Amino acid sequence: MGNCVVQALGRVTIGTVRDLGKTGWFLLYSFYMIVRRPGSPVQILKQMRFIGTKSLFVIVLTAAFTGMVLGLQGYYTLAKFGSEGMLGTAVALSLIRELGPVLAALMVTGRAGSAITAEIGIMRISEQIDALETMALDPFKYLVTPKFIAAMISLPLLCAIFDVVGIYGGWLVGVKLLGVNPGAYFYEMEKSVVWRDVYSGVVKSFSFGVIIAWIGCYKGYYAGHGAEGVSRATTESVVLTSVLILVWDYFLTSVLL
C-alpha cells in the first residue's frame, strides 16, 4: 500500500517536472526561432489581423463598460470624501496600470488564444504538422513564431485602445450622467498619470501577449488524440493562460510599483 502511494507520487512528480521542462523548452525555442527564422511578414500580418484587428470589437465593448462601471463606483466612493474631481485620476490609473492590460489579455485569451490552440491542435491530429516535418521544414517557423510576434505587437496596442475607450466610458458616466466637472476630470488625470504608469501597462500587456501565444501554441502543438484531445487542449489552454496572466500580473505589479 505504502509502496503504491510512493510510486504514484513519483509518477506524478516526474510527469510534472517533464511537462514543465517541455513547456519551458517550447518558450525558449520559440524565442530562438523568432531571432533565427521569424516567418514571413505576410504570415505575421495575417496573425496580427486575427489576434489584433478581429479582437477590436470585444475590446472596445469591454473597455467601454469597464470604464463606465469604474466611473460609477469611483464617483460613489470619492463622493464620500468630497473628492469627485479626482474621478478622472481614479479611472485612468486603474485602467492604465491594471485593468486595461489584464482585461484586454483575458478577452484576447478567450477569443484568439483558444482559436490558436484549436487551429494548431487540428493540424497536429490531421498530421499537417508531420507533413511540414517530412518536407524538412520547421513547423515553428510557420505556426508558432508568427503568432508570437503578432501577439507581442497586438496586445500593447489593444491595451492602449482599451485604456482610451475605458477613460471615455468613465467620462460618459462621471461627467455626462453624474455631473463631475469635465475640466477637473481630464486635468486631474493629466496631473497624476506619469510615464511610469504607462510603461507599466505596456510591459504587462507585452508579457501577456507572450503568455497567450506561448500557452495557446504549446497546448495545440501537444494536443492529444482526436476531437476530444483538441477540445481538452483548448479548455486547458484558456484556463492555464488566464491563471498565468493573473499570477504574472501580481509579480509584475510588485516589481513595477
Partner 1 sequence: MISMRNVHKSFGSQKVLDDLCLDIPEGKITAIIGPSGEGKSVLLKHLIGLLQPDSGQVDVDGESIIGLRRSQLNRIREKFGMLFQNVALFDSMTCFENVAFPLQEKTKLSKDEIRRRVLSALEDVGLKNIESKFPDELSGGMKKRVGLARAVVLNPKIILFDEPTTGLDPIIKRAIHQLIKDTHEKFGFTAVIVSHEIPDIFDVAQNVAMLYRGKILQHGSPSEIKNSNHPAVRQFISGSLDGPIHMI
> Hunting for cell 490609473 — which residue is that?
93
Minimum distance from CB of 122 to partner 1 (Å)?
Answer: 8
19: contact with partner 1 by CB under 8 A: no
Residue number with CB closer to partner 1 (39 or 52): 39
Minimum distance from CB of 220 to partner 1 (Å)?
Answer: 14
What separation, in Å, do the N-terminal and C-terminal C-alpha atoms of the chain show? 50
Of 119-127, 187-195, 206-214, 217-225, which part binds partner 1 (CB under 8 A)? 119-127
Residue among 108, 91, 237 nearest 174 (CA):
91
35: contact with partner 1 by CB under 8 A: no
Q: How far apart are CA 236 and CA 20, in angstroms?
A: 15
Residue number with CB closer to partner 1 (5 or 135): 135
Q: How far apart are CA 217 and CA 114, in angstroms?
A: 9
Task: Judge whether 212 and 151 are in contact, CB under 8 Å.
Answer: yes
190: contact with partner 1 by CB under 8 A: no
Q: How far apart are CA 39 and CA 48, in angstroms?
A: 13
Please pick, from the candidates 8, 12, 56, 137, the single residue that binds partner 1 as defined by CB under 8 A: 137
Please pick, from the candidates 14, 15, 24, 130, the single residue that binds partner 1 as defined by CB under 8 A: 130
Q: How far apart are CA 188 and CA 181, in angstroms?
A: 11
Q: Which residues bind partner 1 (CB under 8 A)?
A: 122, 126-128, 130-131, 133-138
